[in-house]
A and B are shown apart, each in its own frame.
Chain A
Protein backbone atom coordinates (compact mmCIF):
# COMPACT_ATOMS: atom_id res chain seq x y z
CA UNK A 1 0.00 0.00 0.00
CA UNK A 2 2.86 2.35 0.69
CA UNK A 3 4.01 1.69 -2.87
CA UNK A 4 3.93 4.88 -4.91
CA UNK A 5 1.01 5.08 -7.26
CA UNK A 6 1.35 6.30 -10.80
CA UNK A 7 -1.17 9.07 -10.64
CA UNK A 8 -0.93 12.64 -11.83
CA UNK A 9 -3.02 15.26 -10.13
CA UNK A 10 -3.29 19.00 -9.63
CA UNK A 11 -1.28 20.62 -6.81
CA UNK A 12 -1.97 24.13 -5.54
CA UNK A 13 0.90 26.43 -4.60
CA UNK A 14 -0.60 28.99 -2.27
CA UNK A 15 2.41 31.33 -2.37
CA UNK A 16 1.69 31.95 -6.05
CA UNK A 17 -2.07 32.25 -5.96
CA UNK A 18 -3.47 35.73 -6.65
CA UNK A 19 -7.14 34.62 -6.28
CA UNK A 20 -8.02 35.56 -9.86
CA UNK A 21 -10.37 32.57 -10.09
CA UNK A 22 -9.40 31.78 -13.67
CA UNK A 23 -9.19 28.15 -12.59
CA UNK A 24 -12.85 28.17 -11.54
CA UNK A 25 -13.94 29.69 -14.83
CA UNK A 26 -11.83 27.35 -16.94
CA UNK A 27 -13.10 24.33 -15.01
CA UNK A 28 -16.75 25.24 -15.47
CA UNK A 29 -16.22 25.96 -19.14
CA UNK A 30 -14.47 22.76 -20.14
CA UNK A 31 -17.09 20.65 -18.38
CA UNK A 32 -19.91 22.34 -20.28
CA UNK A 33 -21.79 21.47 -23.46
CA UNK A 34 -21.46 24.97 -24.88
CA UNK A 35 -17.78 25.41 -24.01
CA UNK A 36 -18.66 28.97 -23.11
CA UNK A 37 -17.93 30.21 -19.59
CA UNK A 38 -21.00 32.42 -19.26
CA UNK A 39 -23.45 29.96 -20.80
CA UNK A 40 -21.96 27.10 -18.78
CA UNK A 41 -22.89 28.92 -15.60
CA UNK A 42 -26.08 30.72 -16.63
CA UNK A 43 -27.75 28.24 -18.96
CA UNK A 44 -26.28 24.90 -17.99
CA UNK A 45 -26.17 25.66 -14.27
CA UNK A 46 -22.67 24.27 -13.92
CA UNK A 47 -20.48 25.04 -10.95
CA UNK A 48 -16.69 24.97 -10.63
CA UNK A 49 -14.97 21.88 -9.27
CA UNK A 50 -12.05 23.97 -8.02
CA UNK A 51 -12.67 26.37 -5.14
CA UNK A 52 -10.57 29.47 -4.58
CA UNK A 53 -10.30 30.30 -0.90
CA UNK A 54 -9.22 33.73 0.25
CA UNK A 55 -8.34 34.99 3.73
CA UNK A 56 -6.41 38.24 3.87
CA UNK A 57 -3.20 37.81 1.90
CA UNK A 58 -3.51 34.03 1.73
CA UNK A 59 -5.36 32.37 -1.10
CA UNK A 60 -5.33 29.01 -2.79
CA UNK A 61 -7.28 26.93 -5.26
CA UNK A 62 -8.49 23.56 -4.10
CA UNK A 63 -9.84 20.50 -5.80
CA UNK A 64 -10.18 16.75 -5.18
CA UNK A 65 -6.94 15.33 -3.75
CA UNK A 66 -7.73 11.77 -4.84
CA UNK A 67 -6.84 10.70 -1.31
CA UNK A 68 -5.05 7.45 -0.59
CA UNK A 69 -7.84 6.83 1.90
CA UNK A 70 -10.86 8.52 0.33
CA UNK A 71 -13.50 9.12 2.98
CA UNK A 72 -15.97 9.86 0.19
CA UNK A 73 -15.72 6.25 -0.95
CA UNK A 74 -16.69 5.06 2.54
CA UNK A 75 -19.70 7.35 2.62
CA UNK A 76 -21.09 6.87 -0.89
CA UNK A 77 -24.34 4.90 -0.56
CA UNK A 78 -25.16 4.66 -4.26
CA UNK A 79 -21.90 3.20 -5.51
CA UNK A 80 -21.25 6.31 -7.62
CA UNK A 81 -17.81 6.84 -6.09
CA UNK A 82 -15.10 4.33 -6.91
CA UNK A 83 -11.32 4.23 -6.70
CA UNK A 84 -9.21 3.03 -9.61
CA UNK A 85 -6.15 0.82 -9.38
CA UNK A 86 -3.95 3.86 -9.91
CA UNK A 87 -5.68 5.71 -7.08
CA UNK A 88 -7.91 8.02 -9.07
CA UNK A 89 -11.24 8.63 -7.31
CA UNK A 90 -14.19 8.74 -9.68
CA UNK A 91 -17.69 10.10 -9.15
CA UNK A 92 -20.36 8.95 -11.58
CA UNK A 93 -22.86 11.82 -11.59
CA UNK A 94 -25.58 9.69 -13.20
CA UNK A 95 -25.35 7.02 -10.53
CA UNK A 96 -25.15 9.57 -7.69
CA UNK A 97 -28.44 10.04 -5.81
CA UNK A 98 -27.48 13.15 -3.86
CA UNK A 99 -27.22 11.65 -0.38
CA UNK A 100 -24.47 14.23 0.32
CA UNK A 101 -22.39 11.66 2.20
CA UNK A 102 -19.24 12.66 0.29
CA UNK A 103 -19.89 16.35 1.01
CA UNK A 104 -20.19 15.50 4.68
CA UNK A 105 -16.87 13.68 4.91
CA UNK A 106 -14.46 15.22 2.38
CA UNK A 107 -11.66 16.76 4.48
CA UNK A 108 -10.86 19.20 1.67
CA UNK A 109 -14.41 20.25 0.87
CA UNK A 110 -13.73 19.07 -2.67
CA UNK A 111 -16.89 17.02 -3.26
CA UNK A 112 -19.58 19.60 -3.93
CA UNK A 113 -23.36 19.27 -3.84
CA UNK A 114 -25.46 20.30 -6.82
CA UNK A 115 -28.64 20.49 -4.77
CA UNK A 116 -31.04 21.34 -7.64
CA UNK A 117 -29.77 18.44 -9.71
CA UNK A 118 -29.53 16.05 -6.81
CA UNK A 119 -25.98 14.91 -7.45
CA UNK A 120 -22.47 15.67 -6.23
CA UNK A 121 -19.56 16.64 -8.45
CA UNK A 122 -15.82 16.97 -8.11
CA UNK A 123 -12.53 17.25 -9.98
CA UNK A 124 -12.02 14.48 -12.56
CA UNK A 125 -8.50 15.69 -13.44
CA UNK A 126 -9.97 16.63 -16.84
CA UNK A 127 -10.01 13.00 -17.84
CA UNK A 128 -11.72 13.67 -21.17
CA UNK A 129 -9.34 16.45 -22.02
CA UNK A 130 -6.00 14.96 -21.18
CA UNK A 131 -4.66 18.00 -19.33
CA UNK A 132 -6.34 19.90 -16.46
CA UNK A 133 -7.90 23.14 -17.69
CA UNK A 134 -7.34 24.91 -14.36
CA UNK A 135 -3.59 24.42 -14.60
CA UNK A 136 -3.62 25.73 -18.16
CA UNK A 137 -5.66 28.78 -17.18
CA UNK A 138 -3.62 29.73 -14.12
CA UNK A 139 -1.59 32.85 -14.99
CA UNK A 140 0.79 32.63 -12.06
CA UNK A 141 1.76 28.98 -11.75
CA UNK A 142 -0.30 28.56 -8.62
CA UNK A 143 -1.50 25.22 -9.94
CA UNK A 144 0.75 22.50 -11.27
CA UNK A 145 0.04 19.08 -12.72
CA UNK A 146 2.40 16.57 -11.20
CA UNK A 147 2.89 12.96 -10.11
CA UNK A 148 1.54 12.01 -6.75
CA UNK A 149 3.88 12.55 -3.84
Chain B
Protein backbone atom coordinates (compact mmCIF):
# COMPACT_ATOMS: atom_id res chain seq x y z
CA UNK B 1 0.00 0.00 0.00
CA UNK B 2 1.32 3.40 -0.95
CA UNK B 3 -0.33 6.72 -0.23
CA UNK B 4 0.54 9.65 -2.49
CA UNK B 5 -0.34 13.25 -1.67
CA UNK B 6 -0.06 16.03 -4.22
CA UNK B 7 0.45 19.40 -2.56
CA UNK B 8 2.29 20.21 0.63
CA UNK B 9 0.21 22.57 2.71
CA UNK B 10 -2.63 22.37 5.25
CA UNK B 11 -4.64 19.60 3.57
CA UNK B 12 -1.51 17.50 2.98
CA UNK B 13 -0.39 17.79 6.61
CA UNK B 14 -3.95 17.04 7.75
CA UNK B 15 -3.95 13.97 5.50
CA UNK B 16 -0.63 12.69 6.87
CA UNK B 17 -1.98 13.19 10.39
CA UNK B 18 -5.15 11.29 9.50
CA UNK B 19 -3.40 8.38 7.80
CA UNK B 20 -0.93 7.96 10.66
CA UNK B 21 -3.74 7.77 13.22
CA UNK B 22 -4.73 4.50 11.58
CA UNK B 23 -1.77 3.23 9.58
CA UNK B 24 1.74 3.59 11.01
CA UNK B 25 3.40 1.30 8.51
CA UNK B 26 2.70 1.98 4.87
CA UNK B 27 4.59 4.44 2.74
CA UNK B 28 3.42 8.03 2.29
CA UNK B 29 4.80 10.17 -0.54
CA UNK B 30 4.26 13.92 -0.81
CA UNK B 31 4.77 15.64 -4.17
CA UNK B 32 5.16 19.39 -4.42
CA UNK B 33 6.76 21.77 -6.90
CA UNK B 34 7.66 24.04 -4.02
CA UNK B 35 10.71 23.43 -1.87
CA UNK B 36 9.25 23.24 1.63
CA UNK B 37 6.12 22.96 3.74
CA UNK B 38 5.50 26.58 4.63
CA UNK B 39 2.44 28.40 5.92
CA UNK B 40 0.48 29.90 3.02
CA UNK B 41 -1.43 32.45 5.11
CA UNK B 42 1.86 33.84 6.40
CA UNK B 43 3.61 34.72 3.15
CA UNK B 44 2.84 38.46 3.32
CA UNK B 45 5.13 38.49 6.35
CA UNK B 46 8.15 38.33 4.01
CA UNK B 47 7.53 42.01 3.34
CA UNK B 48 8.57 42.83 6.90
CA UNK B 49 11.53 40.42 6.72
CA UNK B 50 9.97 37.77 8.90
CA UNK B 51 12.62 35.05 9.31
CA UNK B 52 12.31 32.25 6.76
CA UNK B 53 12.40 29.46 9.31
CA UNK B 54 9.41 30.95 11.08
CA UNK B 55 7.36 30.62 7.92
CA UNK B 56 7.85 26.87 8.06
CA UNK B 57 4.57 25.13 8.84
CA UNK B 58 6.00 21.65 9.37
CA UNK B 59 9.73 21.00 9.56
CA UNK B 60 11.79 18.03 8.34
CA UNK B 61 11.32 16.39 11.69
CA UNK B 62 7.57 16.09 11.16
CA UNK B 63 8.04 14.28 7.85
CA UNK B 64 10.73 12.00 9.25
CA UNK B 65 8.73 11.13 12.34
CA UNK B 66 5.72 10.28 10.22
CA UNK B 67 7.85 8.35 7.78
CA UNK B 68 6.92 10.50 4.79
CA UNK B 69 9.02 10.76 1.63
CA UNK B 70 8.90 14.20 0.04
CA UNK B 71 9.44 14.71 -3.68
CA UNK B 72 10.04 18.47 -3.81
CA UNK B 73 10.72 20.80 -6.71
CA UNK B 74 8.77 18.68 -9.17
CA UNK B 75 5.32 19.34 -10.45
CA UNK B 76 2.78 16.58 -10.95
CA UNK B 77 1.48 17.12 -14.48
CA UNK B 78 -0.77 14.16 -15.12
CA UNK B 79 -2.63 11.43 -13.31
CA UNK B 80 -3.26 8.16 -15.06
CA UNK B 81 -6.04 6.46 -13.08
CA UNK B 82 -6.01 3.30 -15.20
CA UNK B 83 -2.44 2.40 -14.31
CA UNK B 84 -2.61 4.36 -11.02
CA UNK B 85 0.42 6.56 -11.54
CA UNK B 86 1.20 10.23 -11.17
CA UNK B 87 3.49 11.64 -13.87
CA UNK B 88 5.90 14.39 -12.88
CA UNK B 89 7.42 17.13 -15.03
CA UNK B 90 10.70 15.18 -14.87
CA UNK B 91 8.84 12.28 -16.54
CA UNK B 92 9.20 10.28 -13.36
CA UNK B 93 6.22 8.03 -12.65
CA UNK B 94 4.99 7.76 -9.08
CA UNK B 95 2.64 4.82 -8.53
CA UNK B 96 -0.13 5.09 -5.93
CA UNK B 97 -2.72 2.91 -4.26
CA UNK B 98 -4.56 5.83 -2.67
CA UNK B 99 -4.11 9.37 -3.93
CA UNK B 100 -4.97 12.74 -2.41
CA UNK B 101 -5.21 15.79 -4.62
CA UNK B 102 -4.61 18.91 -2.56
CA UNK B 103 -3.41 21.26 -5.26
CA UNK B 104 -4.85 24.36 -3.57
CA UNK B 105 -5.86 27.54 -5.31
CA UNK B 106 -4.49 29.78 -8.01
CA UNK B 107 -4.78 33.56 -7.95
CA UNK B 108 -7.53 34.91 -10.12
CA UNK B 109 -6.11 37.40 -12.60
CA UNK B 110 -8.71 39.16 -14.76
CA UNK B 111 -7.68 40.00 -18.32
CA UNK B 112 -6.51 43.53 -17.54
CA UNK B 113 -4.38 44.83 -20.44
CA UNK B 114 -0.79 45.24 -19.30
CA UNK B 115 -0.94 42.50 -16.66
CA UNK B 116 2.18 40.87 -18.13
CA UNK B 117 4.37 43.92 -17.41
CA UNK B 118 7.24 43.81 -14.97
CA UNK B 119 6.12 44.89 -11.55
CA UNK B 120 2.74 43.13 -11.54
CA UNK B 121 2.43 40.49 -8.85
CA UNK B 122 0.00 38.06 -7.27
CA UNK B 123 0.30 36.87 -3.71
CA UNK B 124 -0.55 33.25 -3.08
CA UNK B 125 2.82 31.57 -2.90
CA UNK B 126 6.06 32.20 -1.12
CA UNK B 127 7.95 32.39 -4.41
CA UNK B 128 5.87 35.25 -5.77
CA UNK B 129 5.91 37.06 -2.41
CA UNK B 130 9.69 36.94 -2.38
CA UNK B 131 9.92 38.09 -5.99
CA UNK B 132 7.74 41.06 -5.09
CA UNK B 133 9.92 41.92 -2.10
CA UNK B 134 13.03 41.72 -4.28
CA UNK B 135 11.43 43.89 -6.97
CA UNK B 136 10.58 46.55 -4.39
CA UNK B 137 14.14 46.60 -3.12
CA UNK B 138 15.93 46.52 -6.47
CA UNK B 139 13.73 49.15 -8.09
CA UNK B 140 13.37 51.41 -5.08
CA UNK B 141 9.60 51.12 -5.27
CA UNK B 142 7.87 53.73 -3.12
CA UNK B 143 4.32 53.51 -4.39
CA UNK B 144 2.13 50.43 -4.85
CA UNK B 145 -1.41 49.89 -6.08
CA UNK B 146 -3.21 46.88 -4.64
CA UNK B 147 -6.21 45.63 -6.60
CA UNK B 148 -8.76 44.02 -4.31
CA UNK B 149 -9.49 44.44 -0.62
CA UNK B 150 -9.82 40.84 0.48
CA UNK B 151 -7.68 39.30 3.20
CA UNK B 152 -4.58 39.06 1.03
CA UNK B 153 -4.91 42.56 -0.42
CA UNK B 154 -5.36 44.21 2.95
CA UNK B 155 -2.54 42.31 4.57
CA UNK B 156 -0.15 43.23 1.77
CA UNK B 157 -1.28 46.86 2.04
CA UNK B 158 -0.74 46.86 5.80
CA UNK B 159 2.75 45.42 5.63
CA UNK B 160 3.71 47.77 2.79
CA UNK B 161 2.78 50.66 5.10
CA UNK B 162 4.80 49.02 7.83
CA UNK B 163 7.91 49.34 5.62
CA UNK B 164 7.01 52.92 4.68
CA UNK B 165 5.58 52.53 1.19
CA UNK B 166 2.67 54.52 -0.17
CA UNK B 167 -0.29 52.20 -0.80
CA UNK B 168 -3.56 52.67 -2.63
CA UNK B 169 -6.12 49.89 -2.51
CA UNK B 170 -8.57 49.85 -5.41
CA UNK B 171 -11.79 47.98 -4.66
CA UNK B 172 -14.71 47.26 -6.95
CA UNK B 173 -17.26 47.17 -4.10
CA UNK B 174 -18.00 50.09 -1.81
CA UNK B 175 -16.23 48.64 1.23
CA UNK B 176 -13.34 46.41 2.32
CA UNK B 177 -13.75 42.66 2.86
CA UNK B 178 -17.13 42.94 1.20
CA UNK B 179 -17.57 39.20 0.91
CA UNK B 180 -16.28 38.21 4.35
CA UNK B 181 -17.36 40.84 6.85
CA UNK B 182 -20.49 42.82 7.72
CA UNK B 183 -20.81 46.57 7.03
CA UNK B 184 -19.86 47.75 10.49
CA UNK B 185 -16.93 45.34 10.61
CA UNK B 186 -15.70 46.62 7.24
CA UNK B 187 -15.98 50.19 8.49
CA UNK B 188 -13.88 49.40 11.57
CA UNK B 189 -11.22 47.59 9.53
CA UNK B 190 -11.11 50.43 7.02
CA UNK B 191 -10.69 52.98 9.83
CA UNK B 192 -7.81 51.01 11.35
CA UNK B 193 -6.10 50.74 7.96
CA UNK B 194 -6.60 54.43 7.15
CA UNK B 195 -5.01 55.28 10.50
CA UNK B 196 -2.07 53.21 9.35
CA UNK B 197 -1.91 55.35 6.20
CA UNK B 198 -3.45 53.02 3.63
CA UNK B 199 -5.49 54.89 1.01
CA UNK B 200 -8.65 53.50 -0.55
CA UNK B 201 -10.53 54.00 -3.79
CA UNK B 202 -13.93 52.26 -3.79
CA UNK B 203 -16.48 51.50 -6.52
CA UNK B 204 -13.68 51.48 -9.00
CA UNK B 205 -11.26 49.12 -10.68
CA UNK B 206 -8.08 49.07 -12.69
CA UNK B 207 -8.88 49.02 -16.39
CA UNK B 208 -5.36 49.06 -17.75
CA UNK B 209 -1.84 48.75 -16.44
CA UNK B 210 0.42 51.25 -18.19
CA UNK B 211 4.18 51.53 -18.70
CA UNK B 212 6.91 50.46 -21.08
CA UNK B 213 8.38 47.21 -19.82
CA UNK B 214 7.80 48.11 -16.22
CA UNK B 215 4.64 49.40 -14.60
CA UNK B 216 4.50 53.17 -14.36
CA UNK B 217 0.82 53.86 -13.75
CA UNK B 218 -2.66 52.35 -13.79
CA UNK B 219 -5.75 53.66 -15.49
CA UNK B 220 -8.95 53.34 -13.47
CA UNK B 221 -12.44 52.69 -14.78
CA UNK B 222 -13.33 56.22 -13.71
CA UNK B 223 -10.67 57.50 -16.12
CA UNK B 224 -8.28 58.60 -13.39
CA UNK B 225 -4.63 57.66 -13.84
CA UNK B 226 -2.58 56.75 -10.75
CA UNK B 227 1.20 56.78 -10.84
CA UNK B 228 2.60 53.60 -9.36
CA UNK B 229 5.74 51.50 -9.48
CA UNK B 230 4.17 48.15 -8.74
CA UNK B 231 0.75 46.46 -8.80
CA UNK B 232 -0.46 43.61 -6.62
CA UNK B 233 -3.47 41.73 -7.96
CA UNK B 234 -5.36 40.25 -5.00
CA UNK B 235 -8.88 39.77 -6.29
CA UNK B 236 -9.29 36.23 -5.12
CA UNK B 237 -8.27 32.63 -5.64
CA UNK B 238 -9.77 29.91 -7.77
CA UNK B 239 -9.55 26.18 -7.18
CA UNK B 240 -6.58 24.65 -8.96
CA UNK B 241 -8.22 21.77 -10.81
CA UNK B 242 -5.89 21.43 -13.77
CA UNK B 243 -4.27 18.22 -12.56
CA UNK B 244 -7.58 16.65 -11.51
CA UNK B 245 -8.92 17.25 -15.00
CA UNK B 246 -6.13 15.13 -16.51
CA UNK B 247 -7.75 12.16 -14.72
CA UNK B 248 -11.23 13.19 -15.86
CA UNK B 249 -12.28 13.93 -12.30
CA UNK B 250 -15.59 15.72 -12.03
CA UNK B 251 -15.22 19.44 -11.38
CA UNK B 252 -17.89 21.98 -10.57
CA UNK B 253 -17.03 24.93 -8.28
CA UNK B 254 -13.90 22.98 -7.45
CA UNK B 255 -13.26 19.24 -7.45
CA UNK B 256 -16.47 17.38 -6.61
CA UNK B 257 -16.20 14.96 -3.69
CA UNK B 258 -18.64 12.79 -1.74
CA UNK B 259 -19.00 12.94 2.05
CA UNK B 260 -15.90 10.78 2.44
CA UNK B 261 -13.92 13.23 0.31
CA UNK B 262 -13.66 10.71 -2.53
CA UNK B 263 -13.74 11.99 -6.08
CA UNK B 264 -15.70 10.13 -8.79
CA UNK B 265 -12.50 8.29 -9.78
CA UNK B 266 -11.71 5.23 -7.62
CA UNK B 267 -8.97 5.64 -4.98
CA UNK B 268 -8.57 9.35 -5.65
CA UNK B 269 -9.52 11.73 -2.85
CA UNK B 270 -9.39 15.53 -2.77
CA UNK B 271 -9.18 18.14 -0.02
CA UNK B 272 -8.41 21.80 0.55
CA UNK B 273 -8.78 24.92 -1.54
CA UNK B 274 -9.14 22.91 -4.75
CA UNK B 275 -12.48 21.29 -3.82
CA UNK B 276 -16.12 22.23 -3.68
CA UNK B 277 -17.54 21.60 -0.22
CA UNK B 278 -20.75 21.99 1.73
CA UNK B 279 -21.14 25.22 3.67
CA UNK B 280 -22.84 24.02 6.86
CA UNK B 281 -24.51 27.37 7.50
CA UNK B 282 -26.74 27.11 4.45
CA UNK B 283 -26.15 23.64 3.03
CA UNK B 284 -24.98 24.92 -0.35
CA UNK B 285 -21.94 23.55 -2.16
CA UNK B 286 -19.20 26.06 -2.77
CA UNK B 287 -15.47 26.57 -2.83
CA UNK B 288 -14.32 27.66 0.64
CA UNK B 289 -10.58 28.28 0.43
CA UNK B 290 -9.88 28.51 4.15
CA UNK B 291 -6.97 27.10 6.11
CA UNK B 292 -8.78 25.28 8.95
CA UNK B 293 -11.16 23.67 6.48
CA UNK B 294 -8.30 22.45 4.32
CA UNK B 295 -6.63 20.80 7.32
CA UNK B 296 -9.87 19.23 8.51
CA UNK B 297 -10.70 17.91 5.02
CA UNK B 298 -7.19 16.55 4.68
CA UNK B 299 -7.50 14.80 8.02
CA UNK B 300 -10.86 13.24 7.16
CA UNK B 301 -9.61 12.20 3.72
CA UNK B 302 -6.53 10.65 5.35
CA UNK B 303 -8.61 8.64 7.81
CA UNK B 304 -10.80 7.37 4.99
CA UNK B 305 -7.80 6.56 2.78
CA UNK B 306 -6.39 4.46 5.59
CA UNK B 307 -9.66 2.57 5.94
CA UNK B 308 -11.29 4.33 8.88
CA UNK B 309 -14.72 5.26 7.56
CA UNK B 310 -15.65 8.74 8.62
CA UNK B 311 -18.10 11.24 7.17
CA UNK B 312 -17.20 14.84 6.50
CA UNK B 313 -19.76 17.23 7.93
CA UNK B 314 -19.05 20.14 5.62
CA UNK B 315 -17.21 23.32 6.44
CA UNK B 316 -18.02 26.41 8.44
CA UNK B 317 -16.68 29.64 6.90
CA UNK B 318 -14.25 31.21 9.37
CA UNK B 319 -11.97 34.21 9.14
CA UNK B 320 -9.39 35.93 11.26
CA UNK B 321 -7.43 39.07 10.45
CA UNK B 322 -4.07 38.57 12.03
CA UNK B 323 -2.17 41.73 11.20
CA UNK B 324 -4.21 44.54 12.76
CA UNK B 325 -3.67 45.82 16.32
CA UNK B 326 -7.19 44.76 17.16
CA UNK B 327 -8.20 41.23 16.26
CA UNK B 328 -11.09 40.78 13.83
CA UNK B 329 -12.80 37.38 13.84
CA UNK B 330 -15.95 36.10 12.21
CA UNK B 331 -17.74 32.85 11.48
CA UNK B 332 -20.74 31.79 9.45
CA UNK B 333 -23.23 34.29 8.08
CA UNK B 334 -22.24 37.87 8.96
CA UNK B 335 -24.93 39.87 7.18
CA UNK B 336 -28.54 38.61 7.33
CA UNK B 337 -29.69 37.72 3.80
CA UNK B 338 -33.37 38.46 4.59
CA UNK B 339 -35.77 39.45 7.37
CA UNK B 340 -36.19 35.91 8.71
CA UNK B 341 -32.83 36.33 10.43
CA UNK B 342 -32.45 38.03 13.78
CA UNK B 343 -29.50 40.31 14.51
CA UNK B 344 -28.06 41.22 17.91
CA UNK B 345 -25.39 43.87 18.24
CA UNK B 346 -23.14 45.02 21.05
CA UNK B 347 -21.14 47.88 19.56
CA UNK B 348 -18.83 49.60 22.04
CA UNK B 349 -16.05 50.13 19.54
CA UNK B 350 -15.70 53.89 19.96
CA UNK B 351 -15.67 53.85 23.76
CA UNK B 352 -14.33 50.47 24.78
CA UNK B 353 -12.72 49.18 21.61
CA UNK B 354 -14.89 46.17 20.91
CA UNK B 355 -17.75 45.09 18.66
CA UNK B 356 -19.86 41.97 18.83
CA UNK B 357 -22.63 40.86 16.54
CA UNK B 358 -24.66 37.65 16.38
CA UNK B 359 -26.98 36.45 13.62
CA UNK B 360 -29.72 33.95 14.43
CA UNK B 361 -32.25 31.99 12.47
CA UNK B 362 -35.03 29.90 14.01
CA UNK B 363 -33.50 30.16 17.47
CA UNK B 364 -30.09 29.02 16.30
CA UNK B 365 -26.89 30.96 15.91
CA UNK B 366 -25.72 31.03 12.28
CA UNK B 367 -22.91 33.56 12.45
CA UNK B 368 -21.06 36.18 14.46
CA UNK B 369 -18.50 38.95 14.26
CA UNK B 370 -16.08 39.78 17.09
CA UNK B 371 -13.67 42.71 16.97
CA UNK B 372 -11.36 43.96 19.72
CA UNK B 373 -12.32 41.59 22.51
CA UNK B 374 -12.16 38.05 21.18
CA UNK B 375 -11.39 35.82 24.13
CA UNK B 376 -13.48 32.62 24.13
CA UNK B 377 -15.43 33.33 20.92
CA UNK B 378 -14.74 29.73 19.90
CA UNK B 379 -17.67 28.81 22.14
CA UNK B 380 -19.89 30.71 19.70
CA UNK B 381 -18.29 28.92 16.76
CA UNK B 382 -19.25 25.64 18.36
CA UNK B 383 -22.80 26.85 19.05
CA UNK B 384 -23.08 27.37 15.29
CA UNK B 385 -21.40 24.06 14.48
CA UNK B 386 -23.59 21.98 16.77
CA UNK B 387 -26.76 23.95 15.97
CA UNK B 388 -27.54 24.36 19.67
CA UNK B 389 -30.86 26.06 20.42
CA UNK B 390 -30.05 29.44 21.95
CA UNK B 391 -33.46 31.11 21.70
CA UNK B 392 -33.64 31.65 25.49
CA UNK B 393 -30.12 33.07 25.88
CA UNK B 394 -30.01 35.27 22.78
CA UNK B 395 -28.84 38.44 24.50
CA UNK B 396 -25.95 36.59 26.11
CA UNK B 397 -24.48 35.75 22.71
CA UNK B 398 -23.08 39.26 22.25
CA UNK B 399 -21.93 39.61 25.84
CA UNK B 400 -18.18 39.45 26.51
CA UNK B 401 -18.58 36.91 29.30
CA UNK B 402 -20.70 34.43 27.36
CA UNK B 403 -19.52 31.01 28.43
CA UNK B 404 -20.26 27.35 28.91
CA UNK B 405 -22.44 28.18 31.94
CA UNK B 406 -24.89 29.63 29.43
CA UNK B 407 -25.16 26.32 27.58
CA UNK B 408 -27.37 23.42 28.72
CA UNK B 409 -26.02 21.48 31.70
CA UNK B 410 -26.41 18.30 29.68
CA UNK B 411 -23.97 19.63 27.13
CA UNK B 412 -21.35 20.37 29.78
CA UNK B 413 -21.82 16.96 31.32
CA UNK B 414 -21.22 15.23 28.02
CA UNK B 415 -18.25 17.30 26.95
CA UNK B 416 -16.51 17.69 30.30
CA UNK B 417 -17.39 14.68 32.42
CA UNK B 418 -17.70 12.15 29.63
CA UNK B 419 -15.00 13.75 27.53
CA UNK B 420 -16.90 13.49 24.27
CA UNK B 421 -14.50 15.39 22.07
CA UNK B 422 -13.87 13.06 19.15
CA UNK B 423 -14.70 14.22 15.62
CA UNK B 424 -18.12 12.58 15.53
CA UNK B 425 -19.03 14.18 18.87
CA UNK B 426 -19.00 17.62 17.26
CA UNK B 427 -21.88 16.88 14.93
CA UNK B 428 -25.08 18.88 15.42
CA UNK B 429 -26.83 18.20 18.71
CA UNK B 430 -30.01 16.08 18.64
Contacts and interface: CB of A to CB of B under 8 A. Distances in A.
Nearest to A72: B378
Contacts of B10: 77
Interface string A116-140: 0000000000000000000000000
Interface residues of B, number: 56
Contacts of B90: none
Contacts of B416: 11-12, 60, 65
Interface string B376-396: 111101100100000000000
Contacts of A51: 376, 403
B428 to A, nearest CB: 13
Contacts of B385: 107
B295 A75 contact: yes
Contacts of A104: 318, 320, 329, 331, 374, 377-378, 381
Contact of B56 (A58, A79, A113): A79
B7 interface: no
A112 B375 contact: yes
Interface string A50-73: 010111001110100101110101
A78 B322 CA distance: 12
A65 B377 CA distance: 16
Contact of B308 (A1, A12, A97): A1
B12 interface: no
A133 B214 CA distance: 62
B419 A65 contact: yes
Given A11-B417, A149-B418, A115 B404 contact: no
B423 interface: yes
A105 interface: yes
Contacts of B406: 55
A97 B51 CA distance: 12
Interface string B326-344: 1101010000000000000
B422 interface: yes
Contact of B374 (A1, A53, A113): A113
B58 A101 contact: no
Given A11-B416, A95-B54, A101 B320 contact: yes
Contact of A74 (B56, B299, B326): B299
A78 B57 contact: yes
B42 A77 contact: yes
Contacts of B412: 14, 60
Given A11-B417, A74-B296, A113-B374, A105 B41 contact: no
17 contacts: A12-B416, A53-B404, A58-B405, A65-B419, A74-B14, A74-B292, A74-B293, A74-B299, A75-B318, A97-B45, A100-B327, A103-B327, A103-B376, A106-B379, A109-B375, A109-B376, A109-B378
Which 9 A/B pairs are nearest by Cβ-Cβ distance? Answer: A109-B376, A107-B382, A106-B378, A67-B421, A55-B405, A75-B292, A53-B403, A99-B322, A69-B423
Interface of A: 1-2, 11-12, 14, 51, 53-55, 58-60, 62, 65, 67-69, 71, 73-75, 77-79, 83, 95, 97-109, 111-113, 115, 148-149
